[in-house]
Amino acid sequence: MKKPLIGVFASFVLMLGACGGGTEGEAGNEGSSSSDSGEQLEVAVIPAQSAGEMQDGLDALETTLNESMDSGVSVDHYPSYNAVVEALNFGRIDLAYLGPLTYVIANEESGAEAILTQEIDGKPYYYSYIISHVDKPWNSLDEMLEQPGDVNFAFGSVSSTSGSLMPGLELRDRGVFESEENNEFASVRYTGSHDVTANAVVNNKVDAGAIDSAIYNELVEAGTIDESNVKKIWQSDQIYQYPWAARSGMSDELKQQFQDAFTSIEDEQILDIFGGASAFVETDHSSYEDIAQAASDFGMLNMNSVEE
Which pLDDT does position 167 carry in this prediction?
A: 97
For residue range 97-113, list pLDDT tens digits in order. 999 999 999 999 999 99
What percent of the chain has pLDDT above 70? 86
Of residues 79 and 249, more confidence is placed in: 249
Residue 253 pLDDT exceeds 70: yes
For the segment 199-214, the average pLDDT, to the nearest whole number, is 97
Mean pLDDT of 78-96: 92
Pairing of strands 230-235, 128-133: antiparallel
Maximum mean pLDDT: which of 46-50, 158-162, 246-250, 273-277: 246-250
Phi and psi, residue 17, nearest 5°: -55, -30
Q: Is pLDDT at 238 greater than 90 in this prediction? A: yes
The stretch 236-255 carries a mean pLDDT of 97
Q: Which band of pLDDT confidence, cut at 50, 70 and 90, is reported for residue 301?
A: very high
The pTM is what? 0.78
Sheet order of strands, 41-45 included: 73-77, 41-45, 95-97, 244-246, 113-119, 279-282
Q: Mean pLDDT score of the chain, rounded to an integer? A: 87
Mean per-residue pLDDT, 216-224:
92
User: What confidence tier does 159 reach under pLDDT thresholds 50, 70, 90?
Assistant: confident
CATH label, 8-119+242-305, candidates 3.40.190.10, 3.30.565.10, 3.40.1210.10, 3.30.70.20: 3.40.190.10
Distance set, CA 299 to CA 15, 114, 162, 218, 250 (Å): 29, 22, 16, 31, 29
Higher pLDDT, 17 or 149: 149
Q: Would you state the pLDDT for residue 251?
A: 97
Q: Quick one: pLDDT band at residue 81, thresholds 50, 70, 90?
A: confident
Q: Which fold has domain 125-239?
A: D-Maltodextrin-Binding Protein; domain 2 (3.40.190)
Can you give the residue ranges of every domain in the chain?
Answer: 8-119+242-305, 125-239
- pLDDT at residue 87 tops 60: yes
* Residue 182 confidence (pLDDT) above 60: yes
